[in-house]
Chain A
Amino acid sequence: MSQTFRNRIVDYTAAAVVLIAVFICLVPFLYILSQSLSSSKAIISQAVTIYPIDFNIDAYKVVFGDAAMLYSLFYTVILTAVFVLLALTVTILAAYPLTKKRLKGRSVLLLMMLFTMYFSGGLIPDYLNVKNLSLLDTPLALILPGLMSVYYMIILKSFFQNLPDSLMEAAHLDGCNELQILLKIVLPLSKPALATVSLLYAVYRWNYFQDALFYITDQKLYTIQLKLYNVINISQQMSGENLLVNLPSESLKAASIMFGTIPILLVYPWLQKYFVSGIMIGAVKG
């Protein structure tokens, strides 16, 4: 009796702690959301906290009324999808062979890849490289340079290594070649790892804007984050103008942030089932 009672107290306490933590994580998000739905008078007077005041959707009308914003959202969605697909392919094709002990020069290859994790050419050599490859002002400039992250490759590689060898030997005896083993045995068993790596790649591509800033000058190829960055930070460096510049209102900034954040948030629930099934696979194998 007292045992269950004590358990219950522990449960409730844990639940309360988790709820508070969730709330703390949600507050900034709610703050931006309510700002985007409030009047600028309420925002300037600092009356807005986690629920909107003077509820209105004017800011969203402006954001959704901006064809360039919608265009760049769709463009970024496609760019991210293509990037994730290509990046995942390349990462798998690099990680899988590196798990095979019979691959000659395996350690040298790995070392060369690791080297790039510690040393990079720097911004300007990177820029010159992209320029000399004629990639400036093309979507490829945002895809090729970051196509494989060594870090994520190592995550995948360790996951592949932990798969039982006997499975692959069995497939081999049944007449599968290496490609078939990879496609039919290894990848289906690695869904949780693949989902994680895809999500990491997707978030990276979605949020990273520095490369777009430097490699892209054609506004049609701006990613949504670069546009967002422009809208939000414009007021911070305006000292030179000393003039009447019609700055975007706080609610418009907030609405733009919501506009750029929601799509990537939607990816997570969709991938969640793979995380769950991943846990179950582990459980069966013991």
Chain B
Amino acid sequence: MKVKTGRSISISLAALLIASTLSACTSNSSSGTSGTNTTNTTPNATAGAPKEHRTLTVEVFDRGKPGQPDLNDNYWTKYINDNFGKQFNATVKFVSVPRAQEVDKLNVLMAAGQAPDITYTYNQGVVYNYVQQGGLAELDSALKQYGPTLTKYLGDDVLKYGKFNGKQYSVPGKRTVLASSNTFIRKDWLDKLGLPVPTTPDQFYDTMVAFKEKNPGNVSGVIPYGFSLQPLNPGLSFIPEAFKPSNLTEEQFATLQAQSIWLTNWRMPGFDKAVSYVNKMFNAGLISPNFATDKDGKLLDADISNGKVGAFQTNWDGPYRTAPGNYANLVKNVPGAQLVPIDPWQNDAGKHPKNGYSPNGMYIIIPKTSKNVDLAIQYLNWMSDPKVTLFLQNGQEGVDYNMVNGVPKQTGTTNTGDKMMTVANNLDYDILSNGIELGDQKKNDSAISAGYPGYEKDVENALKVSMVDYYATYFYSIPNAADAKNNAALKNLSAQMLAKLIVAKPAEVDGLYKSLVQQYMDQGGKAVEDEFIKNYKAQNNK
């Protein structure tokens, strides 16, 4: 019996291998022929004969979600092929690229001339590099000819992010949620101590002192302000907003805060004061003692969940997310715990400025080797039709979602099987919109909160708070080569500098700040800043 099953297993295994080898061979030969087809038909197609059948290859992120369908053969790809494919006599073939290794794989595909006709990445540096190496097709004329709906949908505000040296090399997607971070506080602790919600940095500091001294949660090892220093994104979240002078000139803003506020803009006026503020908190025992070694923020998550933390900063929707699920775990561990977003980082003008995301999403690029530039733009143009967007993001009305007050409410059919979306709203197929797109910001906002069952009201409020006095980082149309070269090393250095400065004795911070920033400037910071100044002047014809 045992022998028999063993043998049948080995036979079926062998059959499986042979089958997979054979199927691979056939698929290979068929793609080979379709490849030759494409080259044969290209002259005709450019001459304007849409009758020739063509194959358009499109990248799709493989997020490795358990139970996900074949990314090149599922409900969504069928919809795309049945609609766009039939209309334009084309087959759309999806090439999966593992999300976590997308840049590595993209580099190889680009270098070998094998990149899909429509390729995308969130990584701006990668796009800069391809532009400089001449690897991308220029899209101005194709956009003009084939992309009227597309151009209208994105508008100049978004399209400008795809322009390099005055030419359109990329079609950026549109980001519909621009909020970045929020500061959260334990409302139940405030209530217990009879304290108001802090609205200035000084009040925030006093509140943290009260949390430390009175320990309203009655926990051992109370952490008034939870903080983790992450080497990939070292910074002080929104705290520098409070210390940045409100009267910076545009040039100062562009060149001294060239990075997002939550990163280390060492030369930005006021950043030193923000560092001193955190240093003071550390020396008073108000922040996470292990902030420097908690490199992935997991310890902070644990401390929040265990109810030890009074306040912290994170993604605008951080606590409400299902993974890691900090709020849900906190309430399980500490019944009655309540987190609310607050706005304490008031500046000298009484405002609460918040640096958010720029309005562009992923960078969609077409490699120079592509023979289907026109078809690719037609594809994106087709996708920018609101009806198509609605379908790709939500599915079929009455089956996959129902309209409630003009906002689609999912029925749950897209969580499993053939219709499974590996990311909310199918962003990897509907590549033009980064986030739900209903054509109206108000509707979008209420649709977003519907994605957090149980926290709808909280999320709506959190989104509102994080968008108070929103602004985007300065837009550069010229790539900064020095930044591309030094960015990783400088980030690493910045993380070390920040750790040293926060744990220093308060009296030594100023001197240490100067000497460390000098070191930073010598190790590439100066080159980056000089190039930003040069680019700013070139862009504004100064």
B-side interface mostly: mixed
Q: Which residues of B contact A63 (CB under 8 A)?
A: 66
Q: A44-B301, A213-B105 are in contact. List 11 more A-B contacts (CB 8 A).
A: A46-B302, A75-B16, A78-B17, A137-B31, A213-B98, A220-B20, A230-B100, A239-B233, A241-B434, A242-B177, A246-B423
Q: Which residues of B contact A249 (CB under 8 A)?
A: 323
Q: Are A139 and B20 in contact (CB under 8 A)?
A: yes
Closest to B100 in A: A233
Instruction: From B24, B66, B123, B451, name the one whose CB has the most chain A CB atoms within 10 angstroms.
Output: B66
Separation in Å of the A239 CB from the closest CB of chain B? Answer: 7
A136 close to chain B: CB less than 8 A: yes
Q: Which residues of B contact A272 (CB under 8 A)?
A: none
Q: Are A229 and B101 in contact (CB under 8 A)?
A: yes
A177 to B68, CA, bound (A): 56
Closest to A237 in B: B100
Q: Which residues in chain A, 172-211, are within 8 Å of chain B measured between CB atoms?
A: none
Closest to B104 in A: A213
B-contact 0/1 string along A45-82, CB 8 Å cutoff: 11000000000000000110111110000110111001
A236 close to chain B: CB less than 8 A: yes
A221 close to chain B: CB less than 8 A: yes
Q: Out of A66, A77, A137, which one reaches B67, CB within 8 Å?
A: A66
Chain A residues with a Cβ closer than 8 Å to the other chain, count: 61
Separation in Å of the A56 CB from the closest CB of chain B? Answer: 15
Closest to B25 in A: A138
Q: Are A46 and B100 in contact (CB under 8 A)?
A: no
A25 close to chain B: CB less than 8 A: no
Q: Identify the stretch in B133-141, B146-154, B324-332 within 8 Å (CB) of chain A at 4 or more residues.
A: B324-332
Separation in Å of the B436 CB from the closest CB of chain A? Answer: 9
Q: Which residues in chain A, 227-286, are within 8 Å of chain B measured between CB atoms?
A: 227, 229-231, 233-250, 252, 256
Q: Which residues of A contact B98 (CB under 8 A)?
A: 213, 226, 229-230
Q: Out of B13, B96, B435, which one reaches A217, CB within 8 Å?
A: B96
Q: Are B66 and A213 in contact (CB under 8 A)?
A: no
Q: Are A230 and B99 in contact (CB under 8 A)?
A: yes
Q: Are A45 and B329 in contact (CB under 8 A)?
A: yes
A200 to B305, CA, bound (A): 44
Q: Are B20 and A219 in contact (CB under 8 A)?
A: no
Q: Which residues of A contact B64 (CB under 8 A)?
A: 227, 229-231, 234, 248
Q: Out of A65, A137, A236, A239, which one reaches B27, CB within 8 Å?
A: A137
For chain B, which range describes its interface: under 10, 10 to 19, 20 to 34, or 35 or more residues? 35 or more
Known A-B contacts A236-B100, A240-B122; A41 and B332 likewise in contact (beta carbons under 8 Å):
yes
Q: Which residues of B contact A78 (CB under 8 A)?
A: 13-14, 16-17
Q: Out of A44, A79, A231, A235, which one reaches B329, CB within 8 Å?
A: A44
Q: Interface on B for A, CB 8 Å cutoff?
A: 13-14, 16-17, 20-21, 23-25, 27-28, 31-32, 62-68, 70-72, 95-102, 104-105, 108, 111-112, 114, 122-123, 175, 177, 180, 233, 298-299, 301-302, 305-306, 315, 317, 321-326, 329, 332-333, 357, 361-362, 423-424, 427, 434-435, 451-452
A227 to B332, CA, bound (A): 33
Q: Interface on A for B, CB 8 Å cutoff?
A: 40-41, 44-46, 62-63, 65-69, 74-75, 77-79, 82, 123-124, 127-128, 131, 134, 136-140, 213-214, 217-221, 226-227, 229-231, 233-250, 252, 256
Q: Are A244 and B63 in contact (CB under 8 A)?
A: no
Report 26 cross-chain contacts, Cβ distance below 8 Å, ordered by A residue: A40-B323, A44-B302, A44-B329, A45-B333, A65-B67, A68-B68, A74-B13, A75-B17, A75-B20, A124-B111, A127-B111, A137-B27, A138-B28, A213-B101, A214-B105, A217-B95, A219-B62, A219-B70, A219-B71, A221-B20, A221-B24, A230-B98, A240-B361, A243-B424, A243-B427, A246-B424
Q: Are A41 and B329 in contact (CB under 8 A)?
A: yes
A217 to B448, CA, bound (A): 33
Q: Which residues of B contact A140 (CB under 8 A)?
A: 21
Q: Out of A45, A229, A237, which one reaches B302, CB within 8 Å?
A: A45
Q: Are B298 and A242 in contact (CB under 8 A)?
A: no
Q: Which residues of A contact B27 (CB under 8 A)?
A: 137, 218
Q: Which residues of A contact B66 (CB under 8 A)?
A: 62-63, 65-66, 69, 231, 248, 252, 256
Q: Out of B68, B112, B451, which one reaches A124, CB within 8 Å?
A: B112
